[in-house]
A and B are shown apart, each in its own frame.
Chain A
Amino acid sequence: MRAKNIQCVAVVLLLTMAIRAAAQFATLEAPAAPAGYLARLLVNEAAFPGERGYVSEMDSKAAMLSILWVLHSRVHHIPAGYSQKQICAVNTDDVLAVITAPNQCEGFFRNAAGQPDVEPRVTARLENLLRIANSGEAPGRFAGLLNFAQGLATAYLAGGIPGADRYAGLTVVNRLAVTGRAYAWMTDQDFYDPGGNFVTIPDSLEGSLGGNRFFTLRKEPK
């Protein structure tokens, strides 16, 4: 009888461990897959709990969506008076090429074989985020943010951009006529101007999301 009881408890404990081991609350597609690469950029650019710039899960998700809109606008919504190359240093209809354009998205580039690649620090941070997301007893905010990024990237590449562009309707910023939509973002660098024809979208117009500042363009290029 005692042996049976011990057996029973052992089964329960083993089951517990198996469930824990199997808990995979967040996953990203492989970096070689376009949706996996795009998801990595969205994750890389948004603040997670505990990081500088973190406000809330909703704010960081909004930042990911706005970053996706920047990439999308750089491909599909080049304003009159601008060439695509002026805005994102490349002529392309491929959003991955916008990400890997020279000197545009820090840590994202094409390697010697011409494949999209990321710097080791991007991978190191991502591995930490995944470890935290998958170490709890139930899916939490880390898992929510990682899965949101992957879902957004997959949905975008499969069927276009979801959601609304919060900056699409911008016409004037600080009495300066602007094109609307965002065309750049920067992290933690509000003290400095991003250069060229980029115009800071102020806090009053929700220009600061997930630890990033977003920028639109002057209506009349300088």
Chain B
Amino acid sequence: MKRLCWLLLIFVLAAHWPAQAGETPSAVFAAPSSPPAEVLAETYLYDIMGHLYRWYLDESDIEGLAGIRQFPFWVRRLTVELDPGDRSQLAEIVLPLLNLAVRVKKADYTIEDWGVAVTSKTFRIINVARMSEPPAQAAEAVEVTVELAQMKDYLFATRERAQYPDDVLRAHLRAALLANFQLEPDKANVGGHIVHVAPLSPVANELWAFVEDKKLLVRFAADLDLDNPALWEHQAIAIRTYDLLRQTVVSLHEMPGSNEFLTRDQVGRALFNCILLGRKY
């Protein structure tokens, strides 16, 4: 029995000995290849356009397409160095006629520290960039062309379409708001806090809410899916907040180099989505 105890002790010590630096296997490179099929699908590209239509496009963008019949997307797989064991895929969708580049990611990795699998069901937008000049098509990019008239009809017809958070997600959101902003639960129970929640996007893993009585804009965004309970267990890592009265400027040129402000244009889009298209709770 004594020997068994010693063996047990050695096993326990070995299991808890901190890993040495440099033990991790070398980083892998995703092999350059054709874009993922689901990013090339016309229905997916329509969803991307629907998201841009709500959150980014201006009337000048739409007007600039006058006379255009075929609307091209340049789609390519992005080759980036990921952590060992990370099977995530990234792609870029360039809309050359709008000078826009959209980065999307389908996460597929495990956070070992946390014991959580991060797996996205679909490719989700992680960044939208407006380019200063017309882009050149990357050699590996595949062009997908859609009928502009048909896509415009779709955007117009679906401009009010909305999917809202279900009861579970709303409960998570409520708990997170109460925990993070010291909103008084009792007051919330009698409807003292007015919260407008924007519709969910099929291509962006983010949730926007506007707390009207606090003039507070809140964004939850993460690689972890919004419906993953692990995200809400540590929701402080996914929150970004904006005190709209204090943090809104007409132009970022007013405070060059600062990372603290939103433009009135950005705020307007967020309020449009939260208040007009969103639901009040």
Q: Which residues of A line the B interface, CB within 8 A?
A: 1, 4-5, 8-9, 11-12, 15-16, 19-20, 23, 25, 48-59, 87-89, 103-106, 121, 124-125, 127-129, 131-133, 135-143, 174, 183-198, 200, 208, 215
Contact = CB atoms under 8 A, between A and B. Distances in A.
A8 B1 CA distance: 9
Q: Is the interface of B mostly helix, strand, loop or mixed?
A: mixed
Nearest to A7: B5
A140 B126 CA distance: 24
Interface of B: 1-2, 5, 8-9, 12-13, 15-19, 27, 56, 80-83, 86, 90, 109, 111-116, 118, 126-130, 132-133, 180, 205-206, 221-224, 230-231, 234, 236-241, 251-261, 263, 266
Contacts of B128: 190-191
A40 to B, nearest CB: 14
Given A49-B83, A58-B83, A104-B259, 14 more contacts: A12-B8, A15-B12, A16-B12, A49-B223, A103-B261, A136-B115, A137-B15, A139-B18, A141-B112, A142-B114, A184-B259, A190-B130, A191-B56, A195-B257
Contact of A141 (B113, B132, B241): B113
B21 to A, nearest CB: 8
Contacts of A128: 234, 236-237
Contacts of A132: 111, 113-114, 234
A191 B15 CA distance: 47
A129 B235 CA distance: 11
A53 B238 CA distance: 11
Nearest to B241: A121
Given A19-B12, A124-B180, A135-B113, A51 B238 contact: yes
